[in-house]
């Protein structure tokens, strides 16, 4: 949803954030202890201010559990959302999440679900083929928490690690990566895993700081974590905050120092008027002293008594905190001084999102005709009926009064600093932004589509000529991959970027029907650095992982998958992959209920060993998927062979020429020094002479460049 925090709509406006299937909903009846007086806060309405420091001493503000071995026999597994889809059982028709409990939603530690077995079941052996399995093995898989049946095609599970006791019963959310570490957010805090051995991840630290969604990003020694739920306390303790206005509440961005990953320290918290549902770390080319954070806060506007300067209002109100982003500047040398530096109004002049009557009828039926999103589309994330705190979905949004408007916030923003572009997935619309000046993003273009219920996230291809927007129809807590659900609903919308305009091309959706007991819809994914192709892995919650090729953007095609059976065969219980990201040779998935999964692709007729070897040469020091980095492949024989495999696949060279080139590359690889350089130079010259007659000139030019780079390598 990133599973969304729920807003209760009141009259024409949106009221106080509670929580959807992504977080605590009720509050404790016992007030928490008071902390020391707060440092002066910086509301969103005061763009030039500084951060609000957490009101307790930073090093003591969060609780860290000692590092433990991964998947011990006594480890306690995570249940679905703390409150899970249960919170939205009322909102969108989902049954309560297995393990969800009112105490957790009120700020208490969630109840632990049944522990995993001493030895986890062996993963399924994948089907390996160039054609999709028929019948599809994903259909009809047996349910179970730890023993659910599995289906895999052209990829295999390397490991599955149950959650630590610290996060047992909590929803596991987004991922970030730094060096050998995977940082996994959860509604109890975050966990740091050492994944240097992907077959056996090791828990380094489990830090407790309950909130939702606790989405995480990382830059050097800093972790940034989103907080939007009203139970989020400055002292990072359980217990919630019962008062509607409290100086003990944190809603915004928490900043931690992980110079010592075993002992994270809370540095500061930057308070914002609408909290932070998600956020994006933004680097500014040429600025090595600071990073910036785009805050996507989707709750109602906080009372000025809680955070001075916060003010609600309509789109024409210059002081409203509703229709704007917040940009936080983080000085790397003094992160404790981080603060809001601008509040761009990128939503002015946008139209009301289009309405889809057919889908609206399905949504109304799933809610038991109890009403839904503004305009009757998929329940507005941000209204009862949607999974949580994003702004209302397609069909129009409202401020505290007045007619429906276009979006007033984005759910997620993916930036591509090297190209100066960003894709804003903004509830009812998709936006293309210019971010060459990171502090002052500007809207370039927008797209509307009646088939898109809730624009959730964005992914650019590597050269920035295409962008994909996902649609989280139903908010992530609903079954939206049933055989009766249209393939263009809850899918990805694929666009080319032509003259800085978004041009629609096609849709892609997980092609296997799921049951009514599985929350399933398009969610978070990333590119896979296979050279010369646009290949992506994407999470579909309990629909599992899908890997697809969208190089031919009008005809995207699935090329690998992994899936489990439902968590519960008798009712809708929230589980599945929240995020699935490629990182330095493996695919890492945050499983809402089952912990941390790691996968790898295997060679097949659709992906060759050379292509996988070339992909593994791309190494990143850190990786936030929403801060997209350009893949650059170092000179290698694997890269040249990968392009040659692709030329064979496309018939871009004659078979005899393909074979002679393979032989020449093999001979050059056995040689060394000047003999190798001479052989490669001659081969590059010969291949360059073939370009004019090739049916795939662009790919052959890539091969020529790869061979030339090899000849120049020292």
**pLDDT tens, residue by residue, 174-216:** 999 999 999 999 999 999 999 999 999 999 999 999 999 999 9
Whole-angstrom distance, CA of residue 8 vs CA of residue 564: 33
Predicted local distance difference test score (pLDDT) of residue 49: 36
Residue 402 pLDDT grade (very low, low, confident, very high; cuts 50, 70, 90): confident
Q: Tell me how far apart the alpha carbons of residues 45 and 116 are, in angstroms, rounded to a whole number.
A: 48
Q: Which residue has the tokens 């679905």?
A: 80
Q: How far is CA 229 from CA 224, 235, 246, in A?
A: 16, 15, 13
Output b/e per residue, 525-557; b: 16+ Cβ within 10 A: bbbbbbbbbbbbbbbbbbbbbbbbbbeebeebe
Q: Are 531 and 643 in contact (CB under 8 A)?
A: yes
State the Cα torsion 91-97-103-106 to the nearest 10°.
-40
Stretch 665-692: mean pLDDT, rounded? 98
With 0-12 CB in 10 A as exposed, 13-18 as middle and 19+ as buried, what is 29? exposed
Range scoring the smallest mean pLDDT among 36-40, 112-116, 572-576: 36-40
pLDDT at 137: 98
Question: How many C-beta atoms surround the C-beta of residue 362 within 10 A?
Answer: 18
CA 210 from chain centre, in angstroms, equals 20
Q: Are 706 and 643 spatial neighbours (Cβ–Cβ below 8 Å)?
A: yes
Assign 366 a pLDDT band (cuts: 50, 70, 90): confident
How far, in Å, are 225, 268, 334 from residue 257 at the CA level?
A: 12, 10, 11
Q: Can you state the angle between helices 697-712 and 673-690, rounded to 10 degrees?
A: 160
Q: Which two tokens stand for residue 36?
A: 């020391």
pLDDT of 476 reads: 95
- Cα-only R_g, the chain: 25
Average pLDDT, the chain: 85
Query: CA 185, CA 203: separation in Å to the nearest integer?
Result: 13
Confidence band of 593 (pLDDT split at 50, 70, 90): very high
**pLDDT tens track for 429-459:** 999 999 999 999 999 999 999 999 999 999 9
**DSSP alpha helix (H) spans, 346-388:** 357-366
Determine the pLDDT at residue 368.
74
Tokens representing 497 are 């970027």
The secondary structure of 542-561 as a DSSP string is TT-EEEEE-SSTTS-EEEEE
SS3 content of the chain, % helix, strand, coil (to 5): 15, 30, 55
The confidence score (pLDDT) of residue 451 equals 98
Q: What is the pLDDT of residues 23-74, one digit of tens each?
A: 333 323 233 333 333 333 333 333 333 344 334 333 334 555 544 333 332 2
> Would you say residue 91 has pLDDT above 50?
no
**DSSP classification of residue 32:** P
pLDDT in tens, 124-155: 999 999 999 999 999 999 999 999 999 999 99
User: What stretches of 66-132 show up as alpha helix (H) in DSSP?
Assistant: 84-87, 89-92, 102-105
Q: Whats the size of the chain, residue-wise? A: 714
Residue 78 has pLDDT above 50, yes or no: no
Q: What is the pLDDT of residue 403?
A: 86
Only one residue has tokens 């291949």, namely 687
Q: Summarize the confidence of residues 262-275 as an average pLDDT.
A: 98
494, 550 contact by CB (below 8 A): yes
What is the per-residue pLDDT for 397? 62
- The span from the CA of 447 to the CA of 309, in Å, is 33
pTM of the model: 0.86
DSSP readout, 560-580? Answer: EEEEE--S-SSS----SEEEE
Do β-strands 252-257 and 278-282 pair in parallel, antiparallel, or remain unpaired? unpaired
Residue given tokens 């994944």 in the structure block: 195
Give the residue, 38 or 229, on which the prediction is more confident. 229
What's residue 399's pLDDT? 59
Tokens 């703390």 -> residue: 82
Which one, of 81, 98, 21, lies nearest residue 390 by Cα?
Answer: 21
Residue-wise pLDDT tens digits, 305-360: 999 999 999 999 999 999 999 999 999 999 999 999 999 999 999 999 999 999 99
Identify the pLDDT of residue 98: 38
What confidence category does residue 574 fall into, taking pLDDT thresholds of 50, 70 and 90?
very high
Q: What percent of the chain has pLDDT over 70?
A: 81
CA distance linking residue 193 with residue 667, whole number of Å:
42
Cis peptide before 213 (omega within 30 of 0): yes
Region for 368 from its dihedrals, namely left if φ exceeds 0, alpha if ψ lies in -120 to 50, beta otherwise = left
Tokens for 227, please give them. 């907080």
d(CA 317, CA 94) in angstroms, rounded, equals 37
Q: Which pair of structure tokens corresponds to residue 676?
A: 């190798």
Minimal CA–CA distance to 427: which of 298, 302, 578, 251? 298
Is the pLDDT at 387 greater than 80? The verdict is no
CA–CA gap between residue 714 and residue 703 (Å, rounded): 19
| Region 229-244 average pLDDT | 95
- At 423, list the tokens: 């894709």
Q: How far apart are CA 561 and CA 554, in angstroms?
A: 21
Q: Looking at mean pLDDT, say which of 31-40, 107-116, 572-581 comes out highest.
A: 572-581
Quick check: 110 pLDDT over 80?
Answer: yes
Q: Which run of H or of E encompasses 13?
A: strand 13-17
Q: Which of 67-81, 199-213, 529-543, 569-583 is predicted with the least confidence, judged by mean pLDDT? A: 67-81
């Amino acid at each position: 949803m990133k599973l969304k925090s729920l807003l209760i709509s009141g009259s024409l406006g949106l009221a106080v954030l509670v929580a959807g299937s992504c977080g605590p909903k009720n509050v404790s009846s016992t007030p928490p202890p008071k902390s020391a007086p707060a440092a002066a806060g910086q509301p969103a309405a005061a763009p030039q201010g500084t951060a609000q420091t957490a009101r307790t001493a930073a090093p003591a503000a969060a609780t860290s559990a000692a590092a433990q071995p991964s998947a011990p026999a006594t480890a306690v597994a995570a249940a679905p959302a703390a409150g899970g889809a249960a919170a939205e059982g009322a909102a969108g028709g989902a049954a309560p999440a297995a393990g969800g409990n009112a105490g957790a939603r009120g700020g208490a530690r969630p109840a632990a679900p049944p522990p995993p077995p001493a030895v986890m079941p062996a993963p399924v052996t994948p089907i390996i083929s160039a054609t999709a399995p028929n019948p599809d093995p994903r259909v009809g898989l047996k349910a179970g928490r730890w023993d659910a049946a599995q289906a895999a095609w052209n990829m295999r599970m390397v490991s599955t690690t149950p959650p630590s006791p610290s996060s047992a019963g909590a929803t596991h959310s987004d991922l970030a990566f730094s060096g050998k570490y995977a940082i996994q957010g959860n509604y109890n805090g975050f966990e740091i895993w050492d994944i240097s051995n992907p077959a056996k991840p090791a828990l380094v630290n489990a830090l407790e700081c309950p909130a939702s969604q606790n989405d995480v990003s990382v830059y050097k020694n800093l972790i940034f974590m989103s907080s939007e739920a009203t139970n989020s306390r400055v002292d990072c303790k359980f217990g919630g905050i019962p008062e509607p206005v409290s100086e003990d509440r944190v809603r915004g961005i928490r900043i931690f120092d992980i110079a010592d990953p075993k002992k994270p320290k809370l540095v500061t918290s930057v308070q914002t008027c609408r909290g932070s549902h998600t956020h994006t770390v933004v680097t500014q080319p040429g600025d090595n002293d600071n990073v910036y954070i785009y805050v996507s806060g989707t709750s109602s506007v906080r009372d000025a008594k809680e955070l001075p300067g916060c003010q609600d209002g309509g789109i024409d109100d210059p002081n409203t905190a509703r229709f704007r982003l917040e940009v936080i500047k983080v000085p790397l040398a003094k992160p404790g001084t981080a603060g809001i530096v601008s509040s761009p109004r990128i939503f002015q002049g946008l139209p009301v999102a289009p309405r889809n009557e057919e889908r609206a009828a399905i949504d109304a039926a799933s809610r038991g005709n109890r009403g839904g999103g503004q305009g009757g589309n998929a329940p507005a994330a941000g209204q009862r009926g949607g999974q949580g705190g994003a702004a209302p979905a397609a069909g129009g949004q409202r401020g505290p009064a007045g007619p429906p408007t276009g979006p007033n916030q984005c759910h997620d923003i993916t930036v591509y600093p090297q190209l100066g572009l960003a894709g804003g997935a903004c509830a009812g619309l998709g936006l293309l932004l210019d971010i060459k000046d990171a502090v002052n993003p500007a809207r370039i273009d927008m797209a509307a589509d009646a088939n898109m219920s809730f624009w959730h996230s964005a992914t650019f291809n590597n050269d920035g000529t295409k962008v994909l927007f996902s649609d989280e129809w139903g908010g992530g807590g609903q079954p939206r991959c049933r055989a009766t659900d249209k393939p263009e609903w809850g899918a990805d919308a694929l666009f080319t970027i032509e003259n800085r305009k978004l041009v629609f091309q096609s849709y892609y959706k997980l092609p296997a029907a799921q049951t009514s007991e599985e929350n399933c819809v398009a969610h978070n994914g990333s590119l896979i650095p296979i050279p010369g192709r646009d290949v992506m892995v994407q999470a579909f919650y309990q629909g599992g992982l899908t890997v697809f090729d969208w190089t031919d953007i009008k005809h995207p095609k699935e090329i690998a998958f992994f899936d489990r059976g439902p968590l519960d065969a008798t009712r809708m219980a929230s589980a599945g992959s929240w995020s699935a990201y490629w990182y330095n040779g493996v695919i890492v998935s945050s499983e809402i209920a089952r912990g941390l999964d790691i996968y790898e692709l295997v060679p097949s007729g659709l992906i060759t060993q050379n292509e996988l070897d070339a992909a593994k040469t791309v190494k990143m020091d850190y990786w936030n998927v929403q801060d997209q980095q350009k893949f650059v492949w170092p000179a290698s024989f694997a890269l040249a062979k990968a392009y040659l495999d692709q030329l064979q696949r496309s018939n871009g060279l004659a078979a005899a020429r393909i074979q002679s080139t393979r032989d020449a590359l093999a001979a050059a690889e056995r040689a060394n020094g000047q003999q190798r350089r001479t052989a490669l130079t001659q081969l590059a010259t010969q291949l360059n002479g073939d370009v004019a007659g090739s049916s795939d000139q662009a790919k052959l030019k890539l091969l020529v460049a790869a061979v030339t780079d090899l000849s120049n390598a020292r």
